[in-house]
Amino acid sequence: MYDYYLGGTEATPVDQAAAEQVLAAAPQVRVAVRENRQFLDRVVTHLAALGIRQFLDLGSGLPTQRNVHELLPPGARVVYVDYDPHVVDRSRTLLADVDNATCLLGDVRELDAILDGCELDLSRPVGVLMLAVLNFVGDEDDPAGLLTALRPRLAEGSHLAVSHGAREDADLVEGIQSRYQRASGQAVLRTREEVLGLLAGWRVEPPGVVYGAQWPHASADPGTRLTFAVLCRP
């Protein structure tokens, strides 16, 4: 569905139909996913400029659009992780000739297993990306607890970038959540305060939790206001 929103060609007819249902309720989603990808571009470029050379992209989706490995300087690498076996198989095919990226099957609700198996050097800084993935982790799976447990596993200098579907306009939220419920399981949109609440104990970098289109300049045009973005440190 996400690839379809982005104008890709990977979605099955069933995915396309489900994505069209979401777009019927919220046409802005197509722009919001672009805002999210542009946030990815800016935040990865920022972290690479800070000297981070290893990235862990959790809930990476298909590497069909301008992706993390294409943004990295020489010597840096990324491990993509997704819990959808089709996404992982297809990613491995697409990345067959790419030497700075690998893809693992893993569930962000089992972060320790991912960290133990990702073959990154956790004694050195890691840029962890959780973009548009925590909005598929319901409160029953304790996303704040998952992030609390992640903190001590990361070396000083590591960063966590999060983007998250925004719960602001009640009608829009109901339209999106109900269509995801029918298509692929739950989507949990959260308020700015709820997103900040997931990051309890993390040191949130300026400008804090802003709309995706605004990061890192809170005064920039807020765009669709459908996603939040934030960068923090353990």
Ligand X SMILES: C[S@@+](CC[C@H](N)C(=O)[O-])C[C@H]1O[C@@H](n2cnc3c(N)ncnc32)[C@H](O)[C@@H]1O
Interface with ligand X (CB under 6 A):
2, 36-37, 40, 59-61, 82-84, 87, 107-109, 131-133, 136-137
Which residue lies nearer to ligand X by CB, 82 or 194? Answer: 82
Q: How far apart are CA 47 and CA 204, in angstroms?
A: 15
Min dist. Cβ of residue 74 to ligand X (A): 24
Residues 30 and 5 sit within 8 Å (Cβ to Cβ): yes
Min dist. Cβ of residue 106 to ligand X (A): 6
Tokens describing residue 57: 């992209």
Min dist. Cβ of residue 87 to ligand X (A): 5
Which residue lies nearer to ligand X by CB, 131 or 195? Answer: 131
Q: Which of 165, 161, 214 is CA-nearest to residue 191?
A: 165
Strands (E), 72-224: 77-82, 101-105, 127-131, 159-165, 203-204, 210-211
Q: How far apart are CA 62 and CA 64, in angstroms?
A: 5
Length of the chain equals: 234
Which residue lies nearer to ligand X by CB, 135 or 219? Answer: 135
Which residue lies nearer to ligand X by CB, 180 or 202? Answer: 180
Which residue lies nearer to ligand X by CB, 37 or 69? Answer: 37
Q: Which of 68, 225, 55, 58 is CA-nearest to residue 133?
A: 58
Min dist. Cβ of residue 150 to ligand X (A): 13
Min dist. Cβ of residue 156 to ligand X (A): 25
